[in-house]
Amino acid sequence: MLPKRIAIASIVFLAAGMFAATAQAKSSEKPAKLVVALHSSDGTDVGTATFTEKKKSLHIHIDAKNLPVGTHAVHIHQVAKCDAPDFKTAGGHFNPDGKKHGMNNPLGHHNGDLPGNLVIGETHTGTVDFTVNYLTLAPDAANSIFANGGTSIVIHDHADDMVTDPTGNAGNRIACGVIIQ
């Protein structure tokens, strides 16, 4: 058994530490979670993308519906705009580090590239999950999806081949969601 005075001092110290950690989390103003609505070229609701901040990574869950059957690329693009029908205003891939496209590209990858495609089945629905350590919700970080006024999440007509610069041969943009803080 510890002497009573030391035991009490330890408890006070622990409590102070917990308070400091709480205060720090608040001051960074980092949202823990963000849900983004996705729409197709004709304005149809095609589901959501949910971004959840983890300790050292960002988790992205896409829950899609009303999309064409097939395999579709998903990227984070650099402008927080989704003007239908072609979504060209979303700009190129989010690329603060000035790299080339593709998770399998030796000169890559963009921060907006994701390690997989979205597969849409016969019911025109599909889900996919990504956990990446090169994106964050922390608003002041260079690799934040809120950087420079925000970004967008874009779903393409075709699969990403994970290597062809700058687009992964993913074809047209068929759905988009604006990512803002």
Residues that bind Cu ion (CB under 5 A): 75, 154
Taking the complex as a whole, the smallest distance from the CB of residue 77 to Cu ion amounts, in Å, to: 6
How large is the greatest C-alpha to C-alpha distance in the chain, in angstroms?
73
Cα–Cα distances in angstroms (integers) from residue 170 to residues 58, 75, 150, in the given order: 23, 10, 22
User: Which one, 75 or 109, has the nearer CB to Cu ion?
Assistant: 75
Taking the complex as a whole, the smallest distance from the CB of residue 56 to Cu ion amounts, in Å, to: 25
C-beta nearest to Cu ion: residue: 75
User: Which one, 93 or 136, has the nearer CB to Cu ion?
Assistant: 93
Taking the complex as a whole, the smallest distance from the CB of residue 170 to Cu ion amounts, in Å, to: 6
Q: Report how far residue 32's alpha carbon sits from residue 47's, in angstroms, rounded to the nearest whole number.
A: 20
Q: Is 130 helix (H, G, I), strand (E, B) or coil?
A: strand
Q: Report how far residue 109's alpha carbon sits from residue 158's, in angstroms, rounded to the nearest whole number.
A: 19
Taking the complex as a whole, the smallest distance from the CB of residue 165 to Cu ion amounts, in Å, to: 12
User: Which one, 34 or 82, has the nearer CB to Cu ion?
Assistant: 82
* CB atoms closer than 10 angstroms to residue 55: 4
Cα 154 to chain centroid, rounded: 11
